[in-house]
Amino acid sequence: MAEDVMFGFGAMRLDLEDENDPSSVNFDDFAEMIDYYMDQGFDYFDTSYAYHNGSSEVGLREGLVKRYPRESFRIADKIPTWALTNEEDNQKFVDIMLERLGTDYFDVLLIHNINEAFLEIAKNCNSFDYIKKMKENGVAKKIGISYHDRADLLEEILEKYGDCIDVVQLQLNYLDWESKLTESRKNYEICEKYDKEVIVMEPIKGGTLFNLPEDIKEKFEAKGMSLVEAALRFAGSHKN
């Protein structure tokens, strides 16, 4: 985030008890990962209503919220935009999210997966005004969106709803930086233009930048960097 470059813990793609059941998160393994991460001095956890069909949030309650002082960590959670059918659904999902997490506030509350189609849902359900109200009421310390679309659309959103957006979560890594599909660089520059904090997602592109051919790996190692280090250094090198 803008005030500090922080290595976050993405609470998805977790170890499962049953590989055919995405909700069957191995909570013991999850808690061990949480302990190791916290021991390294980090504190930022990213989850969503949708991750592991809710077991991501429940796992954070069991492995984090019940075991550490609330002020010692930060949690970002996301409202499932695609599941909204009316304005009241915003509150319905937030109530479920807070209950699963076992907390009474979010450090960051995002409208999830905003693109051109889901933007219309968020507009129709007044989600931007809703998250602004959650911040005013102390239910969220910071508010914003996770974003997956063109830079010109992002600019339209920030022009219209900028007072409802503190942070933008973007897919940002060196492979997508100049991608015409992802427009990572352009989206990042729009966030800079509107002075919005950026939360990076997919810095290693879901593991893709770790599983590169051996000859590419050797070139990075010749420069004194592992593939993971190179990807994280790139993601953390931007001032916003």
Q: What percent of the chain has pLDDT over 90?
A: 94
pLDDT single digits (tens) 116-164: 999 999 999 999 999 999 999 999 999 999 999 999 999 999 999 999 9
Band (pLDDT 50/70/90 cuts) for residue 6 is confident
204 within 8 A of 228, measured Cβ to Cβ: yes
Q: What is the mean pLDDT of the chain?
A: 96
Q: How confident is the model at residue 193, as a pLDDT?
A: 98
pTM for this entry: 0.94
* The CATH number of domain 9-235 is 3.20.20.100: yes
13 within 8 A of 52, measured Cβ to Cβ: no
pLDDT single digits (tens) 20-42: 999 999 999 999 999 999 999 99
Q: How far apart are CA 128 and CA 30, in angstroms?
A: 32
Band (pLDDT 50/70/90 cuts) for residue 15 is very high
DSSP string, 26-73: -HHHHHHHHHHHHHTT--EEE--SSGGGGHHHHHHIIIIITTS-GGG-
- Nearest partner of 41 among 7, 66, 13, 11, judged by Cα: 7
Averaged pLDDT, 191-210:
95
Band (pLDDT 50/70/90 cuts) for residue 4 is low
Q: How far apart are CA 15 and CA 27, in angstroms?
A: 8
Q: How confident is the model at residue 2, as a pLDDT?
A: 38
Band (pLDDT 50/70/90 cuts) for residue 1 is very low
Q: How confident is the model at residue 21, as a pLDDT?
A: 98
Residue extents of the structural domains in the chain: 9-235
